[in-house]
Structure 1
Amino acid sequence: MNSLEEIIKCWKQFDWEKKLGNVLGKKVNLVEESIECLKNTREKTSIWKMVLSDGKEFNPIVLKIYKLPLKENHRLEINMYQKAYNIYHEFMPQLYWLEPLVNGNETWMFTECLKPLRGQIKLAPHHLERIIPTVAKFHSITFDKKFLQHADLFDNSLPHFDSEEKVKERTKAIKKAKENLDLAMKDPNLRELVAPRYKIIKKILKKGPVFFPEITESGQCLIHGDLHVHNICCENANDAEENWKVSLIDWESAKRYPCWYDLVVLVELLIDFRSDWQKREEEIRSQCVQLYCQEMLKYGITFSEDPLKLLKKAYLQRTLEKKLSSHLQKVLDGGNSTLLKRYLEKIEVWGKELDLY
């Protein structure tokens, strides 16, 4: 676990003031009292916010520390900054400096500090209209065959939907979901919730691990993979400004997947979490899908199947292949899940609508 003292010591040892000053094109000093720890875990990563000053202006930066040996998702994120930044620069923070082998077993990465969307506004459904155009533009760069033009930018750490590893993961998770459903029927905290849908879901799970081949056939691309509001930044988020300058942070979950997976997290999971949105969920969902398709059309991309169904299919695929099992396990272990009830309801309703049973 990194400490403030260690951060300052290494800062001086590696002369990052000079290195970052060269990158920024001006002499800067670290404002030590401004150093703020955003995240600190012993096994994974440590994230810090720092401020550099040239005496007139203040430049906030982010320091992300990765522990060695690098996990695949950490290697993936570093690769995104080192290689893929050239084509994704408008969607990502700028990489200022990358220093390997700090303290013998750490990689330190300094990037631009972008302004988080969260805290600027209370997110309302119409705000998604300011975000979706950026998501569509990001997806369009590597959509379907275009990915081959940029394949050399990604190493083996980039997950692929159809890879042998992902098929094994899905198969294992679906088996676990079946086991957890059986356990849920014996659990007094879960039986009442699960019992009405138990037979339906068991029947559906037999059709896996890929429940809807059409979501992959409709087009894959590089997706962010964790497109919730915490990972969205904007320099001008307000209701008076229509053209938001949107960027994305935390690229550890990037993958080559069906584009609809990002829309599931951005739109559908927001609806699941926001009870105040659920009264208008059909309207919100339809408007977001329609806008996404309009934006994709600007880049010559169309969908042969009803896009609203593709979103619902991606949601069910994601839920059945992973989330159902993990959220059942969470409750079986004595925890709480705010999403489990929504997952079960949507599996039942959308499963019937989409001919899963």
Structure 2
Amino acid sequence: MNSLEDIISSWKKFDWEEKLSNVLNKKVKLLEERIECLKNTREKTSIWKLILSDGQDFLPVVLKIYKLPLKENHRLEINMYQKAYHIYHEFMPKLYWLEPKVNGNETWMFTECMQPLRGQIKLTPSHLERIIPTVAKFHALTYDERFLQYADLFDSTLPHFDSKEKVKERTKGIKKAKENLDLAMIDPNLKELVAPRYKIIKKILKKGPVFFPEMEESGQCLVHGDLHVHNICCENANDEKGDWKVSLIDWESAKHYPCWYDLVVLVELLIDFRSDWQQSEDEIRNQCVKVYSQEMLKYGITFNEEPLNLLKKAYLQRTLEKKLSSHLEKVLNGGKSTLLKRYLEKIEVWGKDLGLY
């Protein structure tokens, strides 16, 4: 865990004031009294907000510190900035400086401090239509064979949907889901919810680890992997007419996956969380899929299957291989899950519609 004293000491020791002044083309000074810790955990990362000043204006900067040995997701995010930034810079915060081997076992990365969408506006379904064009443009860069021209930018830490490691991970998750379903049937807090769908879901789980083989052929690309509103920033969210300038932060979950996985998090999980949206969820879902498909068409990309079904299949695959087990376990351990009921309902309804039983 880093301390405020560590930040100030290393700032002076490594002369970052001069380095960042050179990058920014103006002399800046760190305002030590305004350093703010955003995250400082035992998971070997800490995140700080620094304020630099040139004497007239203030420039907020995010400092992210990774400690060795790097976890795979941290190595992946560093790689995104070290090697892939020149391709994806349009969708990422500006990279000011990245320096490894700080104090012997740390990597320090200074980036632009973006304004999160959350807190600027009250998100409505129509706002999703202003985010989706950026997501589609990002996906189109590496869609299917286009990924090959950028493949050398990524190392072995980039997860691939059809890799042996992911198949093994899915198999383990499905086994755990079966075990937790059985435990739920004898748990007084879960039995009533699970029992009506128990046999159906047990039957479906036998079809894993890939429930829809066609997902591998539906179009894969680099996806963000954690595309919820906390990781979406926008410079002009209050502009009701112009195009939004959207950027994405926190690239630790990037992966080479079917493109619809990002839409599951951005659209479908948001609907699951927002009970006020659920009365018109079909309309919201259909409109978002329509906008995404139209945007992808601008880059010459069409889908060989009904796009709405591809979204539903990605949702069910994600749920059955991992989320069902983890949310059952959460309740079995005495916690609460706002999503479990939705997961069970959609497995039953969409599973039938899509031929899983």
Name 2:148's counterpart in structure 1. 148
Name 2:134's counterpart in structure 1. 134
Name 1:13's counterpart in structure 2. 13
Name 1:350's counterpart in structure 2. 350
The offset of 1:77, in angstroms, is 0.3
What is the distance in 2 between the residues matched to 1:24 and 1:286? Answer: 44
Superposed CA offset, 1:157-195 (max 9, x none): 100000000000000000000000000101111111100
Name 1:90's counterpart in structure 2. 90
Spell out the pairing of 1:166-315 with structure 2 (5 A cutoff): 166-315=166-315
Aligned partners of 1:130 and 1:242 also within 8 Å: no
1:322 matched to 2:341? The reply is no
Deviates more, 1:98-107 or 1:339-348: 98-107
What is the SS of the residue equivalent to 1:162? Answer: coil
Letter aligned with residue 245 of structure 2: K
Name 2:4's counterpart in structure 1. 4
1:164 matched to 2:164? The reply is yes
The offset of 1:239, in angstroms, is 4.9
What is the distance in 2 between the residues matched to 1:337 and 1:242? Answer: 38
Letter aligned with residue 140 of structure 1: A
Aligned partners of 1:167 and 1:209 also within 8 Å: yes
The offset of 1:104, in angstroms, is 2.3
1:63 matched to 2:63? The reply is yes
The offset of 1:242, in angstroms, is 3.4
Superposed CA offset, 1:321-357 (max 9, x none): 1100111111111111110110000000100111100
What is the SS of the residue equivalent to 2:84? Answer: helix
The offset of 1:17, in angstroms, is 0.5
What is the SS of the residue equivalent to 2:257? Answer: strand
Which segments of 5 or more consecutive residues in structure 1 lack a partner in the other structure? none
1:49 matched to 2:49? The reply is yes
Letter aligned with residue 196 of structure 1: P
The offset of 1:101, in angstroms, is 2.0
What is the distance in 2 between the residues matched to 1:127 and 1:16? Answer: 39
Superposed CA offset, 1:6-31 (max 9, x none): 11111111111001111111110001
Letter aligned with residue 197 of structure 1: R
What is the distance in 1 between the residues matched to 2:26 and 2:62? Answer: 18
What is the distance in 1 between the residues matched to 2:173 and 2:215? Answer: 19
What is the SS of the residue equivalent to 2:136? Answer: helix
TM-score, normalised relative to structure 1? 0.99
Superposed CA offset, 1:175-233 (max 9, x none): 00000000010111111110000000000000000001122211000000000000000
Deviates more, 1:96-105 or 1:347-356: 96-105
TM-score, normalised relative to structure 2? 0.99
What is the distance in 2 between the residues matched to 1:43 and 1:154? Answer: 23
Deviates more, 1:233-242 or 1:317-326: 233-242
Letter aligned with residue 70 of structure 2: L
Which segments of 5 or more consecutive residues in structure 2 lack a partner in the other structure? none
Q: After the TM superposition, which parts of structure 1 deviate over 3 Å for at least 4 consecutive aligned residues?
A: none
Aligned partners of 1:23 and 1:96 also within 8 Å: yes
Name 2:335's counterpart in structure 1. 335
Deviates more, 1:68-77 or 1:1-10: 1-10
What is the distance in 2 between the residues matched to 1:321 and 1:222? Answer: 20
What is the SS of the residue equivalent to 1:55? Answer: coil
The offset of 1:34, in angstroms, is 1.5
What is the distance in 2 between the residues matched to 1:334 and 1:67? Answer: 33
Letter aligned with residue 285 of structure 1: R
Give the number of equivalent residue pairs. 357
What is the distance in 2 between the residues matched to 1:113 and 1:208? Answer: 42
What is the SS of the residue equivalent to 2:171? Answer: helix
The offset of 1:66, in angstroms, is 0.7
Q: CA RMSD in A?
A: 0.8
The offset of 1:241, in angstroms, is 3.3
What is the distance in 1 between the residues matched to 2:95 and 2:166? Answer: 30
The offset of 1:102, in angstroms, is 2.1
What is the SS of the residue equivalent to 1:183? Answer: helix
